[in-house]
Amino acid sequence: MSDPKTFDYRSVRKDFPILASQVRGKPLTYLDNAATGQKPLAVVEAVQRYYALENSNIHRGIHYLSEKATDAYEATRGKTAAFIGATDPDEIIFVRGTTEGINLVAHGFSNAILQAGDEILISHMEHHANIVPWQIAAERTGAVLKVIPVLDDGSLDMEAYEDLLSERTKLVSIVHISNALGSINPVEAVIEKAHARGIPVLVDGAQSSPHMPINVAAMGCDFFVFSGHKVFGPTGIGVLWGKREWLERLPPYQSGGDMIEKVDFEGTTYKGIPGKFEAGTPHIAGVIGLSAAIDYLQGLDRSAALAHEGALLQAATEQLSAIDGLRIIGTAAKKASVVSFLIDEVHPHDIGTFLDADGVAVRAGHHCAMPLLKRFGVPATARASFAFYNDFEDVERLVSAVSKLKRFFT
């Protein structure tokens, strides 16, 4: 891994105007990156420029603005493919976010793949977006949802996973990095063991795509999903990548304009991929903003950025652990920059409120991972999550605010 000292985070911070702001009279310490990333000025300007000077619908117009918008939209498809190591731009489906991407696949499997008695495997650490769609799919088809256990340190129980795989398993859908714990799952090993039985694998990359280079070809997965707002782009835009052979097997998720070849009252024929999955006017500005976000990320030394995030995680973990009565939930050996913690006799919501008074933004709650927190016997945690634009002063402010809170409540 690169030396974190080589990453110029001071210069990077200047690209994010919001980081220079104040909250309640204190410098903003933004540590809620697992919920959404802040936007560099390049993304803000790209979206503003589109709406101010280039606004038009795509695919259907022959005038200049429509052709310009269409070109920008479709160029982003190729750019996104390269960003995640895919070779075929047509395998990139633009959706509203990770949630819609998973729902699209779940809908397709419900209608074209799953039958009564089939099994779907997910893990105990999944976000609700990778639980509920599969519950609905199971209810619709008579399939059975199976859950891979999580060990006490917050890592995946790989022995149990192997035991759960069977001839009835039709899909494994698993998170790459836990949003609640920061645990990094060994997705390559998960995929290898599933593929040995001919089982496809969906990887939820909502948390991994902002923090590490992604190469779906090397990873070997069959589907990969992520959200634009997590990679410092706009909200309301996301990506589903799938292998062509799988996408062609799945039926359309929604229907309407732009996903058809021909419509008459006797029947309709659909476009091939990616068109058949993109009904109606898409979030064009979101795609253009995503393009700018990818350009921005690709302009960074991502290996050095990852090393910098790792140094922040280590510093925060060590300093928070030294506070009496503070307990960290999720201590897997391989973690991304997330620290979930509890303080004796202080509700996580009170932690979040107290820290906010000092300008420190953390998340408090169940993080859309209620079964996982139930597994650890807690209803909620406070969660600090770092990005490459955070610095060691942010860690110091977090630790100082938590220490002040501990003194206040004891």
Please identify every residue annotated as catalytic: 368
- The whole-angstrom separation of Cα 353 and Cα 205 is 29
Look at the alpha carbons of 158, 160, 163, 165 in this order and tell me if their dihedral is positive or negative.
negative
- Per the CB < 8 A criterion, the answer to whether 330 and 316 are in contact is no
- Per the CB < 8 A criterion, the answer to whether 233 and 213 are in contact is no
Phi first, then psi: what are they for 149, rounded to 5°? -70, 165
- CA separation, residue 237 to residues 149, 182, 233 (Å): 31, 23, 8
- Orientation angle between helical segments 302-321 and 392-409, nearest 10 degrees: 20
What does the buried/exposed string (b/e) look like for 236-255 if buried means 16 or more CB atoms within 10 Å of the residue's CB? bbbbbbbbeebbeebebbee
Phi first, then psi: what are they for 339, rounded to 5°? -125, 110
Query: Dihedral (C-alpha) 36, 40, 42, 44: value to the nearest 10 degrees?
Result: 60
- The whole-angstrom separation of Cα 236 and Cα 76 is 16
Q: Judge if the upstream peptide bond of residue 17 is cis by omega within 30 degrees of 0.
A: no
